[in-house]
Chain A
Amino acid sequence: MKSLRFLIPIALFGVLVWFLFRGLSLNPREVPSPLIGKPAPAFTLPRLDDPQKTMQREDFAGKPWVMNVWASWCAPCREEHPLVIDLARRVKVPVVGLNYKDRPGDARNWLERLGNPYAATLIDFDGKVGIDFGVYGVPETFVIDAQGIVRYKHVGPLTPQVLREKIEPLLKQLGALG
């Protein structure tokens, strides 16, 4: 028994290494959203294509929808844009753009140049609705179900992997993918 005591510090060291190693693979930027499973926050925002008209949360009720938060000043948004275009083409539900703290003129140019996949783009000029949605890193993507409940949130640019493993299975489950 006594001869095996030297194993105790080695075992403790092993536990420590395991924790540190786990820590390396965790992403502190992925903050779990408290919004998941809760109703999407209410909003009334002007449309980018016609700022005289506003849209609100209730306009999207009744079927699932995807909300993509973007801005023309955001480089990763440009990076993910082809994926958003591709997603919008394949899903049967609206992909809505939330144009976050942007100049509407810049935003319109951006969409003209890179393509406009959005059923509607809403202007969140002062970022207040962004705060309500807990946005902290553009781009962000939300999936909201027919009951208006936020089901999924992705922070950062979409990747083929996230679409394949998270968003598409969820949309399929919600009956939003053909």
Chain B
Amino acid sequence: MLLRATLTALILLWAGAVLAQGAVAPAAPAVAAAAVDPELEARVLKISAGLRCLVCQNQTIADSNADLAVDLRNQVREMLVRGQSPQQINDYMTARYGDFVLYKPPVRSSTALLWYGPAVLLVLAVLILVWIIRRRTKLPADRFEPDPDGN
């Protein structure tokens, strides 16, 4: 009985410690940023999440802590404070770093394959599937293997 109570207490303690650790560690920077202006920070983060960090290319500048990413986040924040629109900020970034900084590339002739390629492939696949099925429905029954359950 005593053993069980001790064990339960230990488990609870351990779980408490793990939870506390997990909750406190990542929350700290968020608290620091939120202290400034949570609404502005949210907008900075939203725009930053659509911009590629050129130093660490598979991250957005919202995720990255590379020096340049921090500078560019500050730039986004400054421009928002000056009252510029997300579109203006994206234009500012592409004027300097090219379309490559946008995680959502603009639709134009050079990116048409990227945007419409998958849809074209899908349509093509469906057409081929329909063609195969139609051809098979016209085949006589003896061209198929008999069903194992005898139907």
Binding site for B on A (CB under 8 A): 28-29, 31-35, 101, 126-127, 131-134, 136-137
CB contacts (< 8 Å) of B95 on chain A: these are 34
The reply to whether B54 and A34 contact each other, CB–CB distance below 8 Å, is: no
Q: Are B72 and A137 within 8 A (Cβ)? A: no
Q: Shortest CB–CB separation between residue A41 and chain B, in angstroms?
A: 8
Q: What residues of A have a CB within 8 angstroms of the CB of B100 in the complex?
A: 31-32
Q: How far is the CB of B98 from chain A (nearest CB, A)?
A: 4
Cα distance, A127 to B75, chains bound together (Å): 11
Q: How many residues of B contact A (CB 8 A)?
A: 15
Please determine whether B67 and A34 come into contact, CB atoms closer than 8 angstroms.
no
Alpha-carbon distance between A132 and B98 when the two chains are bound, in angstroms: 12
User: Which chain B residue shows the least CB distance to A32?
Assistant: B98
Verify if B97 is at the interface (C-beta below 8 Å from A): yes
Does any Cβ of A come within 8 Å of B96's Cβ? yes
Cross-chain contact of A131 among B55, B75, B94 (Cβ < 8 A): B75
Residues of A within 8 A of B54 (CB): 31, 136-137
Report, nearest first, the 4 A-B pairs whose CB atoms are least far apart: A136-B54, A134-B96, A34-B98, A31-B100
Q: Which residues of B contact A134 (CB under 8 A)?
A: 96-98
| A-side contacts of B94, CB under 8 Å | 34
Considering the complex, give the chain B residue whose CB is closest to the CB of A127. Answer: B71
Q: Find chain A residues with CB under 8 A from B75 CB.
A: 131
Q: In this assembly, does B88 line the interface, its C-beta being within 8 Å of a C-beta of chain A?
A: no
A-B contact pairs, 5 of them (CB 8 A): A28-B57, A34-B95, A34-B96, A34-B99, A131-B71
Q: Tell me if B13 is interfacial: C-beta within 8 Å of chain A.
A: no
For residue B15, give the distance in angstroms from its CB to the closest CB of chain A. 44
Known: A31-B54, A131-B75. Is A136-B68 also a contact (CB below 8 A)? yes
Q: Is the CB of B96 within 8 A of A132?
A: yes
Residues on A with beta carbons closer than 8 Å to the beta carbon of B55: 136-137
| A134 to B97 CA separation, bound complex (whole angstroms) | 5
Chain A residues, Cβ within 8 Å of B57 = 28-29
Closest to B72 in A: A131
- Contact A131-B98, Cβ < 8 Å, known A101-B67, A136-B68, A137-B55: no
Taking A34-B94, A35-B96 as known contacts, 13 extra A-B pairs with beta carbons closer than 8 A to each other, sorted by chain A number, are A31-B97, A32-B98, A33-B98, A34-B95, A34-B97, A101-B67, A126-B71, A127-B67, A127-B68, A131-B71, A133-B96, A134-B96, A134-B97
Shortest Cβ gap from B68 to chain A (Å): 6
| Distance (whole angstroms) from the CB of B106 to the closest CB of chain A | 12
Q: Residues 54-95 of chain B: 1 if any A CB is under 8 Å from the residue's CB, otherwise 0?
A: 110100000000011001100100000000000000000011
Minimum CB distance partner of A132 in chain B: B96
